[in-house]
Amino acid sequence: MTKRKNKNLTGNGGETHQTAGDDLEVMTTQVGMPISDDQNTLKIATRGPHLLEDQVFREKLFHFDHERIPERVVHARGYGAHGTFELTESLSDLSRADIFQRVGEKTDVFVRFSTVAGNKGSPDLARDVRGFAVKFYTKEGNWDLVGNNIPVFFIQDAIKFPDLIHAAKQEPDRGFPQAQTAHDNFWDFISLMPEAMHMVMWIMSDRTIPRSFRFMEGFGVHTFRLVNAKGKSSFVKFHWKPKQGMQSVLWDEAVKINGADPDFHRRDLWDAIQMGNYPQWDLGVQVFDEDFADAFPFDVLDATKLIPEEAVPVRIVGTMTLNRMVDNFFAETEQVAFQTGNIVPGIDHSNDPLLQGRNFSYLDTQLKRLGSPNFNHIPINAAKCPFAHLQQDGHMAMYNPVGRANYEPNSHGLGPREDPERGFRSYETEEAGPKQRVRSESFADHYSQARQFYLSQTDIEQSHIVDALVFELSKVDAEAIRARVVSHLRNIDADLAEAVADDLGMEKLPEPATPAKSPIDTDPS
Ligand code: HEM
């Protein structure tokens, strides 16, 4: 809509007609033609057929018909806000990343919190993992830390992600449930994937239903690399610690809140920021070297395992403050595209097989969701530092190479060129061996950290885990699935397994599950 004002335009009668005037601008078509009547289609006489030449009507309906884009295949339900990240401790000895150099320097960020399984209109307080995705607009490109509020994940290899999500979302024949874990397919799959047991303990715990986004932690989950100016690499796990503290709600409270206000979490963030009560998180790093990784009893590339903070303390290096809501939900929160592939010099990926798969998936899905390879031209996704490349054209291109040369090398002396010094270089590792589909033996222990987590909980927290498992499993029709879950619980903690079996009315405890190499080796009976 243009900003043109027309003081002389008057209404054409009828009490409900609102016309442009001193304070209201003139409505136009997309290409700026002023509109005289937004109430009636163009027709013959007063009751005759419509005319195809009615461009005002056709443009309006055409555009409305195309308002929807596909929702995210996961994390469809989310809420975003702008803010800044301020570095409080330099990491220049560990990383050459520009964002980690100068204490006191601020970097713009955009954050999107989300649930995973529910569709776009699902309630906020589902028992589900929360996404915690941060886009840092650094001086050397956008760095996306696409994390969750739980430090581990369900699966170890990205090839199982579609199965996990199919099992967690609505069932294909009946179209429900969504945003709840209480159903046969989810527990069927999970109980055939013992690697999920650590994550199951977390999602059945009080950690899973935050009081609001402001009171939850965030984790990068995977092991990443930091690389310093001399090319030396360290491993790193990223953490977000809420300055507000951590608070959760109980399932009974969640059910009531979901009924009374399914937008509870987004409303909370909106209200807090609008009132100037800006939420803050500290960014922490757990940094360790190859020797630690080799000696650690679990594989640091296994995303179902965490590194205990007692073993490697979290070092706080900065603070993020969210201080501005979006101007437009669709333009910013819906169109933002986070990608694990967006890293910057000084930060690198590890060989975590889940992370490697994610690096493909985000770019691929965003092409489908946003409809054009130019989705980084949308302002919320565009870098705020200078950028120059020779990619061109495609749907909705807003940025194209300037001048005659759209290739390099060229002898016109035009266009950007690579910079071996400043440019991103992958950390060089030695990789050799047969090409094969295999899961490392070092990924095989599925129960020890699940047990450690369960035993780290207070009595009341443990009782909430029992209650959650009993509630969820009581919604599962197939007795064999319930028994299979309890057979895993027996490998986690005997009291936990007995309490759940008892409350489910099981007459006899199933045998403990045999740790299986793959779901195919698991006896599903
Ligand atoms: C969103 C894939 C694991 C965090 C998404 C999306 C896809 C995806 C396709 C939708 C992106 C979009 O439409 O913009 C995968 C795959 C995974 C995986 C293939 C494993 C192989 C994880 C893990 C985490 C995570 C382990 C956390 C560490 C997120 C978050 C979002 C997201 C936070 C929402 C981003 C937003 O707010 O827009 N994921 N994901 N994902 N994923 Fe993953």
- Indicate if the pLDDT at residue 1 is higher than 70: no
Mean pLDDT of 448-456: 98
Under the banding of pLDDT at 50, 70 and 90, the label for residue 234 is very high
Q: What is the pTM of this model?
A: 0.94
pLDDT at 179: 58
Model pLDDT, residue 16: 67
- Banded model confidence at residue 522, pLDDT cuts 50, 70, 90: very low
Residue 177 CA, ligand 1 centroid: distance in Å? 21
Ligand 1 geometric centre to CA of 353 (Å): 14
Whether the CB of 146 sits within 6 Å of ligand 1: yes
42 Rama class: left (phi>0) / alpha (psi -120 to 50) / beta: beta
Q: How far is the CA of 123 from the centre of ligand 1 (A)?
A: 19
How far is residue 256's CA from residue 253's CA, in Å, rounded to a whole number? 5
More confident residue, 235 or 21: 235
Kindly state the percentage of the chain with pLDDT values over 70.
94
pLDDT surpassing 80 at residue 15: no
Q: What is the ipTM for the molecules in this complex?
A: 0.94
What separation in Å is there between the alpha carbon of 362 and the centre of ligand 1? 7
pLDDT band at 24 (very low <50, low <70, confident <90, very high): very high
Mean pLDDT, range 289-317, rounded to an integer? 98
Q: Say if residues 442 and 298 touch (Cβ distance below 8 Å).
A: yes
Ligand 1 geometric centre to CA of 224 (Å): 16
pLDDT given for residue 3 in this prediction: 46
Q: Which residue is listed with tokens 């294909």?
A: 172
510 has pLDDT over 50:
yes
Segment holding 132, helix H or strand E: strand 130-138
> What digits encode the pLDDT tens for the residues 131-189?
999 999 999 999 999 999 999 999 999 999 999 999 999 989 988 876 555 589 999 99
Residue 197 contacts residue 488 (beta carbons within 8 Å): yes
Residues recognised as catalytic: 75, 148
Local confidence band at 523 (pLDDT 50, 70, 90 cut-offs) = very low
pLDDT in tens, 364-419: 999 999 999 999 999 999 999 999 999 999 999 999 999 999 999 999 999 999 99
Q: Which atom of ligand 1 is nearest to the CA of 360?
A: 19
CA–CA distance from 364 to each of 72, 336, 361, 399 (Å)? 12, 14, 5, 21
Confidence tier at 312 by pLDDT (50, 70, 90):
very high
Ligand 1 close to Cβ of residue 491 (< 6 A): no
Residue 177: per-residue pLDDT: 78
Ligand 1 atom nearest the C-alpha of 153 is 26
339 lines ligand 1 (CB under 6 A): no
Lowest mean pLDDT among 178-192, 411-425, 437-451: 178-192
CA distances from 317 to 88, 260, 383 (A): 5, 39, 23
pLDDT band at 500 (very low <50, low <70, confident <90, very high): very high
Distance 132 CA to ligand 1 centre (A): 10
Q: Which atom of ligand 1 is nearest to the CA of 219?
A: 28
SS3 for 6-63 is: CCCCCCCCCCCCCCCCCCCCCCECCCCCECCCCCCCCECCCCCCECCCCHHHHHHHHH
Q: Helices 494-503 and 459-474 sit at what angle, rounded to 10 degrees?
A: 40
- Indicate whether residue 359 lines ligand 1 (CB < 6 A): no
Phi, psi of 235, rounded to the nearest 5 degrees:
-85, 155
Average pLDDT over residues 489-503: 98
| Predicted local distance difference test score (pLDDT) of residue 182 | 57
- Whether 377 lines ligand 1, by a CB cut-off of 6 Å, is no
- Ligand 1: residue of 111, 114, 145, 146 to mutate (most ligand atoms within 8 A of CB) is 146
Task: For ligand 1, say whether the CB of 127 is within 6 Å of any of its atoms.
Answer: no
By alpha-carbon position, which residue is closest to atom 16 of ligand 1?
358
Q: What is the pLDDT of residues 332-376, one digit of tens each?
A: 999 999 999 999 999 999 999 999 999 999 999 999 999 999 999
Cα of 153 from ligand 1 centre, angstroms: 11
Nearest CA to ligand 1 atom 27: 147
- Residue ranges for the binding site for heme? 72, 112, 161, 358, 362, 369
The answer, yes or no, to whether residue 8 has pLDDT greater than 80, is: no
267-278: string of b/e by CB count within 10 Å (b at 16+)?
ebbeebbeeeeb
Confidence (pLDDT) at 521: 41
- Average pLDDT for residues 111-124, to the nearest whole number? 96
Q: Does residue 518 register a pLDDT over 50?
A: no
Which one, of 92, 114, 118, 117, lies nearest residue 103 by Cα?
92
- State mean pLDDT over 73-89: 98
* CA contacts within 13 A on the Cβ side of 369: 20
Ligand 1, atom nearest to 337 Cα: 14
Average pLDDT, whole number, for the chain? Answer: 94
Stretch among 6-20, 46-60, 190-204, 491-505 having the lowest mean pLDDT:
6-20
Taking the C-alpha atoms of residue 177 and residue 119, their distance in angstroms, rounded to an integer, is 10
Residue 321 Cβ inside 6 Å of ligand 1? The answer reads no
For the Cβ of 249 lying below 6 angstroms from any atom of ligand 1, the answer is: no
Answer for the pair 457, 450: CB distance below 8 angstroms, yes or no: no
Q: Measure the CA–CA gap between 524 and 190, rounded to whole angstroms.
A: 12
Residue 369 Cα: closest atom of ligand 1: 13
Q: Is 356 in the pocket of ligand 1 (CB under 6 A)?
A: no
Q: Residue 176's pLDDT is what?
A: 86
Position 224, amino acid: F
| pLDDT for position 183 | 81
Residue whose Cα lies nearest atom 22 of ligand 1: it is 358
- CA within 13 Å, CB half, 478: 14
520 pLDDT higher than 60: no
Can you give the pLDDT at residue 514?
87
How many CB atoms lie under 10 A from the CB of residue 397?
13
Residue 181: CB atoms within 10 A of its CB come to: 23
